[in-house]
Chain A
Amino acid sequence: MISPLLVAVISIIYFAMLFGVAYYADARRKAGHSLINNPYIYSLSLAVYCTSWTYYGSVGRAATSGLDFLPIYLGPTLIAFTWWFLLRKMVRVSKEQNIVSIADFISSRYDRSPWIGALVTLIAVLGIMPYIALQLKAVARTFDLLVSPTTVAEVGLQDLFPVLPTYVDTAFMMALVLSLFGILFGARHLDASERHEGLVAAVAFESIVKLVAFFTVGMFVTFGLFDGFGDIFNRFAQQFPERLSLFRLDTAAIPYTKWFTLTFASMMAIMFLPRQFHIMVIENADEKHIKEAMWRFPGYIFLINLFVIPIALGGLLLNGGDSSQADYFVINLPLAAGHPWLALLVFIGGFSASAGMVMVSSVTLSTMILNHLTMPLILRLKVDIRDFSAILINLKRFGIIGVVFLGYLYYRVIGDSYALVNMGLISFIAAAQFAPAVVGGLYWKRANKKAAMAGLSLGFLLWFYTLLIPSFVMSGWMESSILDLGPFGIELLRPLQLFGLTGFDIWTNALFWTMFFNLGAFLSLSFFCKQNATEREQAQHFVDVYGDHLVPEQRRRISKAPTIMEFVELMSKFIGEKPANAAISSYLKNHEINSRGSLDDHEIPALKSFTERTLAGYVGAAPAKIIIDNYLSTRGSEMEDVFDIFGTVTLSRTASREQLSVLYEAAKIVSRSSDLDKTLNGLLKLLMQQFKFDLCVIRFLDEQSMTLAVKAQMGMTSKHFGESERNLDMETYIGAAFLSNTASVVNDTEYLDKPESSQIIHRERIKSFAHAPIVVEGEPVGVLSAFSRTAKGIFTDEFVALFNNLARQVGIAWRNHQQLIELLNAREQERDLQIAKTIQMGLLPSGIPEFSNVDLAGLCVPAHQVGGDYYDFIRRQNGTLDLVIADVSGHNIGSALIMAETRTFIQAMRQIEQPYAMLDELNRFFCEDLSRAELFVTMFYLQYHPESGRLLYANAGHNNPVLWRQQTKSCEMIDGDGMILGIKPDIDFEQRETRLATGDILVLYTDGVTEAEDGNGNFFGESRLQALLEEHRDLSAKDLIDQVLEQIRLFTGSRHFNDDISLVIMKVIHQNPQDSTADKEQNR
């Protein structure tokens, strides 16, 4: 018997110590030296798993049914093998997603569904209710035992303070104390994502205390009251040989199925009980701590279990086999042995175990209630509250009290009808319901919202039916007929033998059926239902959490987007002004602010996500989503549908695969065909197919009218868009794009600043459009345009970059086309010229007619491939020789044709005998053709009679031939009046006559000879020709020509001539001397 006052004082001192630890931890954290950021504290805080169930209940269980207390601790040891993967992944995901509770975790994974969050919260609150009741019961009973060990009934407090109303029993007081603990440690200020370092430190401290206390009492019993382990077992075997089945399995109390059920349930519980989740995942300071905790935590639970059996057996031995108070052997044994201080230590240890659990559970659950039940309700009801942050913290505090007192209520209802362990197991199996949704959600991308919802609901319903209802029945609170006969007498639906499954204990029955329906619904719906885009995105965030952010941000835009300040205001409303300002300034540090003091259009969605994430840290993901969505919808802003320009796969920051494939496809189209129209249509088709535009147009600059004329278009037919040309000015978007040589983009046609364009655009119901200049070698040559009637905000920066690239491809196609045309032209011309040259060369005399007394030679060197020069020799029947030299103006096909025609005419008109007559006929015949072709011909026509040496000649404006007179050893020029052919139809050609003597040399030439230029612009000239003639008069005609050419080349310094050069030389070898000097003028 210890004085209640002493117990109270000691307890208060202990509380003060706990607070001291918590405050110290908080102070250290503020100073930047986190106390809990080490693996020891982390491992110890995990021992919040060991509650008064472990502390008192294990001994009770060992004394009554045997070894089945063990699976509860073997399970966590086994699951610890998976921690480095499973737990670490949970921690990583939670950190990245700013997750604050298991409800938040599950709802975040499944599309931030508020319904799932609410359901998980409901399961958690109802599921943990018996567990909290267990703690209250244990603490209250041990308190009563301590102050009045003789009384079995729970009357301690009532005896001490009779003034208290009857419902204020010890458990009620304990509930009050523990709620206060929860509030003080967990809800002093609002910020769920910030870790509760004080709480964790206090829990870790409590873990030490409970281990030390339990270990001490274990040592005391084993080595103080008895003589070691062997002694206890031996004495027990002697005294209660019939109870040796306590150390056996496969007995009526512990069938193997139950053993397995308990192992499995505890494996799930250590992972998914809300408080375990909170301590292991949310409060984890460093992933590396998991590694240490993997063996330290199992080590802890091994130590705390080491003395369970000795204490149980010792209790049975000392109590004469009475196991009715077995749950409290731990405290009764030291009391009975006369060691009240030890009993007090045990009480403190037990209180620690309970308080830790209740504190963490109540804080966690109240966070969940606030985030997933209260907040959504407030938001849905649209309660107008100016400053949420103050209300939220109070709601959280009320939540803590509510959760603890719900446990108290359950304790009042169930009372003594259940042993401690049994109450705890109800909670374990409730926690197991989260397993499919969490594990499936972490490793299986297809796991979806509907599946999780269905699995959780069914699991919860069956848990309620197979465990909670029986617990109500056993406490006498409900009719027992439902257990015996089934509801409405339907035997198949008896909760403990559901669907006729008999022969199993209550836990196996419950676990089997809950898991069967939970897992069954989860798997099958995941298989058969589809996820939407955001759901898939979240699934990726969870499953591929280790990937290097493979998941690109979903691209969206917000219409009528809020400003930065508006986002800050929204945040302050929920989390207070200071944290909101701090959050936004840290965010903006890494983001560029544009000239309008705002973020770019495409940055706003990122800011929205940031706001949502920040809020999620305070109120959970699902409420944060509701807050943002509500806010935007009341503003009239909309998250515009993910207009995924690249099909179903979203964009990445750098060039995505889709972008590259589009460009690749475009490049292929450009290179495939040389037909410009085909290429342009191909590109437009690609653009239309890939991006679902309503109209795409390519315009090129028409240099004559200086407008942009449509070259190709695809999509809706519209006079205004597709077919008309555009003026080049800055008044239209397209003109601006061309003139400024940059793309002009309009993402929302409601905001246009060019009135000229807006009218048409609105008439055509265009929502967004872009013009990109088609640039060739830096110069715009046209514009590529795309219009959409369906979506705003298509033209993200990435897409504009791609669009510009496509415009460049159009430019390449255009340039290719231009070059091809030029090339074809050149080739065509070259071929023509080649043909012309061949023909023309063929037209020149192929051989020299042979005359016994005349040495003849002729040569034509065209400057270009075809020339207008022409010479010919015609041998007549009567033995005369006609010499013709002519020059058609120009050096092109036209000249060549005229030359050919001239030749044909002359050859055909051999019957015309006189030179002047020939010229006259020629002029008549050609005049019209020549003047039409704007060409003219100069010609010198000579007729030589070898027999007589007589030379007749007439001139049509040609250079005067040079005649070397052997007799006088001098040169003279021969000439005749006559105009150029092709000027007018009637021309009088003067015909003259002379006689040639032996040794005379006649040189006919075109202006290419005399007008050959040297580098200084001097002409070769007639005098040089004459001098040459004089010097080389002894050479043959052929050699003389070569000599002249050679000299011209030397003169010009070039092998090529600027003009055609034609030379005909006739050398008289032998001539009878008669009238050689007499020039006889002859008129026609």
Chain B
Amino acid sequence: MKKTNTTSTREAWILCLILGVIMLNFPFLQIFNTGRTLFGIPILVFYFFVGWPISIFVILLFVNRLQREEETETSDDEEQS
């Protein structure tokens, strides 16, 4: 049970890493690499400075999930003992 959790979480992390690398590289960036602006800010700059906090938020979500998993595990352990 614990093992599968860890493995699936690890897979999710690595998936996110790969996704992040893709979204921050050619050719994905090419989508935003235009001269257009949004609220006066070049769309590429906008993309980075909005996408970045979102990715940090994703990490935060994962960390919280990790925390919950661990808490249930420890409470399970306590119940058992």
Contact = CB atoms under 8 A, between A and B. Distances in A.
Contacts of A603: none
Interface residues of B, number: 34
A256 B33 CA distance: 11
Contacts of B59: 80-81, 294-295, 298
A299 interface: yes
B39 A263 contact: no
A249 B33 contact: yes
Contact of B45 (A67, A80, A295): A67
B66 A230 contact: no
Contacts of A74: 24, 48, 52
Nearest to B53: A302
Interface string B22-42: 001110011001010101111
B56 A256 contact: no
A84 interface: yes
Contacts of B42: 233, 244, 247-248
Given A81-B13, A291-B63, A259 B26 contact: yes
Nearest to A249: B33
B20 A82 contact: no
Interface residue tally on A, bucketed by range:
35 or more
Contacts of A385: none
A84 B13 contact: yes
A129 interface: no
Nearest to B35: A244
Nearest to B59: A295
Nearest to A80: B59
Nearest to A299: B56
B56 A295 contact: yes
Given A78-B24, A81-B20, A82-B13, A249 B56 contact: no
A77 B39 CA distance: 26
Nearest to A300: B56
Contacts of A247: 42, 44-45
A902 to B, nearest CB: 86
B25 A260 contact: yes
B24 A256 contact: no
Contacts of A248: 33, 35, 42, 44
Given A67-B44, A67-B45, A263-B24, A81 B56 contact: no
A464 to B, nearest CB: 28
A302 B39 contact: no
B37 A85 contact: no
A250 B56 CA distance: 26
B68 to A, nearest CB: 12
Contacts of B35: 244, 248
B17 A302 contact: no
A263 B29 CA distance: 13
Interface in A73-114: 74, 77-82, 84-85
Contacts of A244: 35, 42
B56 A85 contact: no
A70 interface: yes
Contacts of A250: 26, 30, 33
Interface string A292-322: 1011001100100010010000000000000
A291 B67 contact: yes
Interface in A43-78: 67, 70-71, 74, 77-78
Contacts of B41: 229-230, 233
B30 A81 contact: no
B75 interface: no
Contacts of B44: 67, 247-249
A1054 interface: no
Contact of B40 (A78, A234, A259, A295): A234
A256 B27 CA distance: 9
Nearest to B43: A247
Nearest to A546: B6
Interface string A527-538: 000000000000
A237 B39 CA distance: 13
Contacts of A234: 40
Interface string A213-237: 0000000000000000111011001
A585 to B, nearest CB: 33
A771 to B, nearest CB: 48
A309 B56 contact: no
Nearest to A309: B45
Contacts of B24: 71, 74, 78, 263
Contacts of A256: 25-26, 29
Contacts of B63: 84, 291-292, 294-295
A847 to B, nearest CB: 87
A85 B37 CA distance: 39
Contacts of B30: 249-250
Contact of B52 (A77, A249, A260, A292): A77
A84 B13 CA distance: 9
A302 B66 contact: no
Contacts of A82: 13-14, 17
Contacts of B5: none
Which of A260, A291, A292, A306 gathers the greatest number of chain B CB atoms within 10 Å? A291
Nearest to A228: B40
Contact of A259 (B25, B39, B52): B25
A911 to B, nearest CB: 102
Contacts of B57: 295
Contacts of B29: 249, 256, 259
B77 to A, nearest CB: 16
Contacts of A70: 48
A28 to B, nearest CB: 27
16 contacts: A74-B48, A74-B52, A77-B20, A78-B17, A79-B17, A84-B63, A85-B13, A247-B42, A248-B33, A248-B44, A250-B26, A250-B30, A259-B26, A260-B25, A298-B56, A302-B53
Given A67-B48, A74-B24, A84-B66, 6 more contacts: A81-B20, A233-B41, A247-B44, A249-B33, A259-B29, A292-B63
Interface of A: 67, 70-71, 74, 77-82, 84-85, 229-231, 233-234, 237, 244, 247-250, 256, 259-260, 263, 291-292, 294-295, 298-299, 302, 306, 309
The 5 closest A-B pairs by CB, nearest first: A230-B40, A247-B42, A256-B26, A81-B17, A295-B60
